Structure 1
């Protein structure tokens, strides 16, 4: 029973019931007893005439009851609602503090009714918000520490091109260590090399080499646009690549020298030996065997010439000149150089590439497919438009490649064949990427290898 009375709803019901009962008692007292009897006694026994009737009518009794009960009701209502009003004001202040970002506000929980439960839930919410705020602050501090100390120069600009955030590396790169906040990034770049300005204005990722501080510096520029707090922003990342590229260049040159030395030794050693043998045969007058010796020397010389020519073609690869290419004539011309099975239908949309370079790539891939040991009818070519790209796929039914070979097959000077130069797939990758596309190798589930070229469709 006492637990039920602690409920705010029970108290309000009890209050309303008490008010109704009090009104009925006052009305009965005015109309029935004791007020009429009191007035008669005062008039007859004491001779006091108040001028009031001995009996009151309904409306008169109602007016007297209201006049008596209204002040009492107002006081009682104020007494009952005062704690509720105080609590609501406290909650209003707490919500205003939360709106301003201050989550330290809490309310003393002394009540044991529904309002007390509301206070406890409010305090729990405040505690949760405080903990989340603290975690966010710690994460923000960690992120800012990482960003500020990264060697990559980071610049964030708003829609007007003014810098809203820049890390330490960016300040040293563009403003001698001074702050960049609020400055126009385009104006800051006015003192930078022209190649750097053009790359930023181009809005695309780029790899560029510029003259800075009396030497050459290579940068990789990444640019992304996004919306922050509903407003457009642009993020630029400038990564110095000079040391990494220098190390890779040295490693590449070592690999090139090793491959060239190997090929030269494999060709020059037999040529030297055969030349000595030919001279000995000529000295002895044994001319019948000289044609065979000279033929072998010629074959090794032609092999060496082809090897050097392959490296020269890789180094002198011209920039592609893409144009719209109709597929049927292109495939008809390709079939004159190599055999393949066309899988699927020919897309209606024309391709957009340098026909000579892509034909060179496909001839090399189809040739590799035949040399893998696949049957002639197992070598296939298929075309498919995927989004804004055209996929050209060459597949075979050979043994495929191991995971180790797959990971390195596209690297320059890495040969997948015993007598290869390591330039075929690397040259294919170079041509495809020069077109703005990409190349991928994967083993087929049923056996064999699949080489996929993704080329952009049109401008």
Structure 2
């Protein structure tokens, strides 16, 4: 019977099981036996001399037993037909998301197994629906209360001009942060994004109009706020949608800026103290020797002062070069003469012949980056003959590998090696690898570091290959 609430599936009490086949076989057998008995009774009591007596017996038997058989079969089929209608009704309820109905079948047969399976399915669907509702509630709570402003826009309207919008291009979801950022706390769903952006800061409108991810700044001076805009496109219910994420980075960037300045000041102070202290001592010793008239040691003292001064100058120039790296001037360069100039300044072995095809890059900047990498390879303790350089052209990119057979790097050092001012060397500035990364990224490429099997480090520069000889 349908319409009873599902009360879970429990263990059925032990009872004698009668299958459908046995029940219907017994029913049919009973009806046949009744027909035979009726036929025998007719055959006994009908006069023997009736014409067509056998035919008459069969006809009367059918007239007497068929209505009874129909009534009995109908009475037995009625519960099953009711069960089938109930099954159809509960399936319709499941399709509509209502899992609160269960079924009951009093007989212990195959239909009882079907009902139990159906009720078990409903129980599973109810539990899944409850878990899904709870997860949706949790997700909505998290999304609504996240500090990242989220806007879901239909039809990718964020990249079109307002006059080209259609009526269906609208904001379909906005969390609390987005409402406060763009709508002064008011609801944004249903409004068109261009109309909302008209009330927002011009920097935000320009960032959205540019397309893609990026940073933008709102305000000036003490009220300056830095935001990151991220955009993702996907299909939802057969329509094109775009998700815009606006994350405020002001506090995070300021914390990073303070930490960076502290690190810079600490490194510079350490280096200046290491150079100024001996310079002060040497100057005092030179003045004392002059006062005594013992000038024979003055050349040595002055040479040491000059060496420390040049080291200090090189240190300051390294910081200035990193801070003021100009935009690269890409010009077509042949690899062979470029490597010859590089080999005149550093020792390395070519692992393979360089490509014959030229590539466009800033020769001075790439030379500085490779000099830093080769110098680091030698300072790692690697044998000089194991420091190798290899250049290959792969799928429109130039791959430059500088490898050594030193001790390699630990996981911690690998994770921080490209961070400016991070160094494990006692006298290192932490700018060599950082400057190489800055140069690679300025060329539209990247740099990676990995330990080699058997010991050593492999530093890889990936640069886009541009065969044009025009400067960029």
Same fold (TM over 0.5): yes
- Name structure 2 gaps, 5 residues minimum: 1-14, 158-169, 468-472
**Deviations 1:304-352 (CA, angstroms, capped at 9, x unpaired):** 2211111111111123456777666655654454443344676798767
Q: Trace 1:146-165 onto structure 2 (pairs within 5 A).
A: 146-161=142-157, 162-165=170-173
User: Relative contact order, CA 8 A, sep 6+: which one is greater?
Assistant: 2
Q: Is the 8 A contact 2:90 2:101 kept in 1?
A: yes
Q: What does residue 322 of structure 2 align with? A: 314
Instruction: Determine if contact 1:156/1:166 at 8 Å carries over to the other structure.
Output: yes
Partner of 2:167: none
Aligned residues of 1:36 and 1:55 also touching (Cα < 8 A): no
Counterpart residue number, 1:130: 126
Match of 1:365 among 369, 373, 387: 373
Aligned to 1:101: 97
RMSD over aligned CA atoms reads 3.3
1:72 equivalent in alignment to 2:60: no
Q: Contact 1:159–1:233 (CA<8 Å) still a contact in 2?
A: yes
2 CA distance for matches of 1:410 and 1:261? 22
Looking at structure 2, the residues matched to 163 and 457 of structure 1 have their Cα atoms a distance apart, in angstroms, of 42
Q: Tell me, yes or no, if the aligned pair for 1:413 and 1:423 is still in contact at 8 Å.
A: yes
Identify the residue that residue 54 of structure 1 maps to in structure 2: 51
- Structure showing greater radius of gyration is 1
- Name the counterpart of 1:445: 453
Q: Is residue 156–residue 241 contact of structure 2 (8 Å, CA) maintained in 1?
A: no
- Aligned-residue offset at 1:212: 7.4
Equivalent of 1:10 in 17, 22, 30: 22
Paired with 1:293 and 1:408, the residues of 2 have a C-alpha distance of 39
Tell which deviates more after alignment, 284-293 or 165-174. Answer: 284-293
- 2:431 is matched with 423
Distance of aligned partners of 1:184 and 1:437 in 2 relative to their CA distance in 1, 3 Å threshold? farther
- Number of residue pairs the alignment of both structures matches: 441
Question: Match of 1:86?
Answer: 82
Q: CA deviation at 1:242?
A: 0.6
Q: Indicate how the Cα distance of structure 1 residues 341 and 229 shifts in structure 2: closer, same or farther if over 3 A, else same.
A: farther
8 Å contact from structure 1 (residues 327, 347) kept in 2: yes
Distance, in Å, in 1 between the alignment partners of 2:451 and 2:60 is 101
Matches within 5 A, 1:318-357: 318-320=326-328, 331=339, 334-343=342-351, 354-357=362-365
The Cα offsets for residues 175-204 of structure 1, whole Å up to 9 and x where unpaired, read as 111112122223322333343333334443
Quick one: structure 1 residues 96 and 155, their matched pair in 2 at CA, closer, same or farther if it must change by over 3 Å? same
**d(CA) in 1 for partners of 2:340, 2:460:** 20
Distance in 1 between residues matched to 2:202 and 2:330, nearest whole Å:
28
Report matched runs for 1:236-247 at 5 Å. Answer: 236-247=244-255
TM-score scaled by length of structure 2: 0.81
Residue number in structure 2 paired with 1:111: 107
Cα distance per residue 1:26-65 (max 9 Å; x no partner): 67777xx247527x5xxxxxxxxxxxx622575x776665
Shift of 1:94: 0.6
